[in-house]
Chain A
């Protein structure tokens, strides 16, 4: 199966229990079926879109690294997988950080603009190490982006699922009087 567009394979989400409900419901309105990773075990769609939220980002990242054939697009939202502190990576995430260059699929890393949970240096680490990585900030959101700015997050995630790194190309018409 492929995740070339809405209605194809489901999107699998790793994240805090209940923490992704707004994202799941918003994606559903855009035609995407999203399900929790714990519910995907018996029907893991391969390859699929994979989303990791907050602490769930580490599991998503590990799956993308250890079973790259199962993931064709990776989205990390407010990820805590890499934890820089005082200019260094803490020992818990150093090993993972050293493997970021192995991520093969297009990757979007999203942070709330006011996220105080993760040091701001983390964005550069993902952007510099993952070969095809885009960074996005959601305005007026902290760590819990899905709860604080659900519409903005859904627009961003759905756009990236559909268009991958070409999501940077503006495709909305701004014609006023055609």
Chain B
């Protein structure tokens, strides 16, 4: 089993952020910001040194918790420091982005890394829909079409026009072509049945993020069945689980740290006002929204959506067994780990990576 380090590039003082999203830009101090990215890149280098085989990047906006709104820029910088790891773009949020631009960024990354790119396609968390003004009801359709267009742009040898439902491009001729043919390893990160089916039909890998083991297994069971129906079997590297982690020397130390976070109300997560969250989710589900009811229910301006639990918390042995369960039960061949919990310092992360590299990673590689 392989491990991936999520290069989240969190702002060093993220523990001071308000719980709501977006984080006001006034919280950003350039000096802190510059150092935060240097620290984040150092963490990526150290992860590679400790034996991580992938470094991943994810598109998140308007927050310093995962401070990579333009992940291709970050991936390019890290790719020049880390010369062995796969550079995993997990990934561009397709409903938000021009798919042709995404294809151009991905093929360029595949070139400058000489074929080390892994690409994952995501829809994004509900708050992300608001960044570039995407109608949440169109998100799934835009993602499905965007994936097809990206793959076509990477494989079609002649300039072409694209007449889609959401996209119309009359001249597409992406340059450079990918180093990996027909295109770089690709996976779809999703929880929804129709998108899982899409991945199975297209021969694409699957990514699942932050879900408990049993819920993840429900998705991977269906995926593997649909792959079988389509006449192929996914390879271990085509099944990726992203989880958040806190690793300590002992289970008790890890639990004490986690309890302190909860008691201080500093659990991770990005929160939206409930009125906004309710409308986004209803719109994504294709429901008519009665705004009078929405606002009647949230006059206090309460917030929801934050504080998901950590996926892996414990000492090395416990964490190893928890990760192994995702491999044994779900078939996951890569675990993509989010280390940058809000209250941790750069020094804390480096110590965790050192411990993970010594005590957990060698055992994962034997699986």
Partner of B148, one of A113, A153, A156: A113
Interface residue tally for chain A (C-beta within 8 Å): 21
Q: Are B161 and A156 in contact (CB under 8 A)?
A: yes
* Cα–Cα distance between A113 and B164 once the two chains are bound (Å): 10
Partner of A139, one of B145, B158, B159: B145
Interface mask (A110-141 → B, CB under 8 Å = 1, otherwise 0) = 00010000000001100110000011111110
- Kindly state whether residue B263 has any CB partner on chain A within 8 Å: no
* Cα–Cα distance between A169 and B171 once the two chains are bound (Å): 9
Q: Are B161 and A140 in contact (CB under 8 A)?
A: no
A156: chain B residues at CB < 8 Å are: 161, 163
Partner of A137, one of B161, B165, B171: B161
- Kindly state whether residue B162 has any CB partner on chain A within 8 Å: yes
* Cα–Cα distance between A155 and B165 once the two chains are bound (Å): 12
| CB-nearest residue of chain B to A165 | B170
Q: A139-B145, A155-B163 are in contact. Are A128 and B158 (CB under 8 A)?
A: yes
B163: chain A residues at CB < 8 Å are: 136-139, 149, 152-153, 155-156
* Cα–Cα distance between A113 and B167 once the two chains are bound (Å): 14
Tell me the interface secondary structure of chain B in the complex.
Answer: mixed
| CB-nearest residue of chain B to A139 | B164
Partner of B162, one of A137, A149, A155: A137
Interface mask (B152-196 → A, CB under 8 Å = 1, otherwise 0) = 100011111111110100110000000000000000000000000
Within 8 A of A (CB), among B321-364: none
* Cα–Cα distance between A140 and B146 once the two chains are bound (Å): 12
Tell me which of A113, A138, A153, A170 has the highest count of chain B C-beta atoms within 10 A of its own C-beta.
Answer: A113
What's the minimum C-beta distance from A79 to chain B, rounded to whole angstroms? Answer: 15
Tell me which of A134, A153, A167, A170 has the highest count of chain B C-beta atoms within 10 A of its own C-beta.
Answer: A134
Q: Are A139 and B170 in contact (CB under 8 A)?
A: no
- Kindly state whether residue B149 has any CB partner on chain A within 8 Å: yes
Partner of A168, one of B145, B149, B156, B171: B171
B159: chain A residues at CB < 8 Å are: 127, 134-135
Q: Are A135 and B152 in contact (CB under 8 A)?
A: no
Q: Are A168 and B158 in contact (CB under 8 A)?
A: no
| CB-nearest residue of chain A to B151 | A113
Q: Are A134 and B161 in contact (CB under 8 A)?
A: yes
Interface size class of B (residues with CB under 8 A): 10 to 19
What's the minimum C-beta distance from A50 to chain B, rounded to whole angstroms? Answer: 19
Within 8 A of B (CB), among A148-167: 149, 152-153, 155-156, 167
Q: Are B160 and A135 in contact (CB under 8 A)?
A: yes
Partner of B158, one of A113, A135, A140: A135
Q: A155-B163, A156-B163, A167-B170 are in contact. Are A139 and B157 (CB under 8 A)?
A: no
Q: Are B170 and A140 in contact (CB under 8 A)?
A: no
Q: Are B149 and A139 in contact (CB under 8 A)?
A: yes
Q: A113-B152, A139-B148 are in contact. Are A168 and B161 (CB under 8 A)?
A: yes
| CB-nearest residue of chain B to A166 | B170
* Cα–Cα distance between A8 and B159 once the two chains are bound (Å): 31
Q: Are A124 and B161 in contact (CB under 8 A)?
A: no
Tell me which of B149, B159, B170, B171 has the highest count of chain A C-beta atoms within 10 A of its own C-beta.
Answer: B170
Interface mask (B301-338 → A, CB under 8 Å = 1, otherwise 0) = 00000000000000000000000000000000000000
* Cα–Cα distance between A134 and B160 once the two chains are bound (Å): 7
| CB-nearest residue of chain A to B162 | A137
A149: chain B residues at CB < 8 Å are: 163
What's the minimum C-beta distance from B220 to chain A, rounded to whole angstroms? Answer: 26
| CB-nearest residue of chain B to A169 | B170
Q: Are B158 and A137 in contact (CB under 8 A)?
A: no
* Cα–Cα distance between A155 and B171 once the two chains are bound (Å): 16
Partner of A136, one of B145, B157, B162, B165: B162
* Cα–Cα distance between A113 and B158 once the two chains are bound (Å): 14
What's the minimum C-beta distance from A74 to chain B, rounded to whole angstroms? Answer: 16
Q: Are B170 and A123 in contact (CB under 8 A)?
A: no
A169: chain B residues at CB < 8 Å are: 170
What's the minimum C-beta distance from A40 to chain B, rounded to whole angstroms? Answer: 27
A137: chain B residues at CB < 8 Å are: 152, 156, 160-163
Q: Are B152 and A168 in contact (CB under 8 A)?
A: no
Q: Which 10 A-B pairs have the closest CB atoms?
A: A168-B170, A139-B164, A136-B161, A127-B158, A135-B160, A152-B163, A138-B163, A156-B163, A168-B171, A124-B158
Q: Which residues of B contact A (CB under 8 A)?
A: 145, 148-149, 152, 156-165, 167, 170-171
Q: Which residues of A contact B (CB under 8 A)?
A: 113, 123-124, 127-128, 134-140, 149, 152-153, 155-156, 167-170
Could you list 14 A-B pairs, sorted by A, with CB under 8 Å?
A113-B148, A124-B157, A124-B158, A135-B160, A135-B161, A136-B162, A137-B163, A138-B164, A139-B149, A139-B162, A139-B163, A139-B167, A140-B145, A170-B170
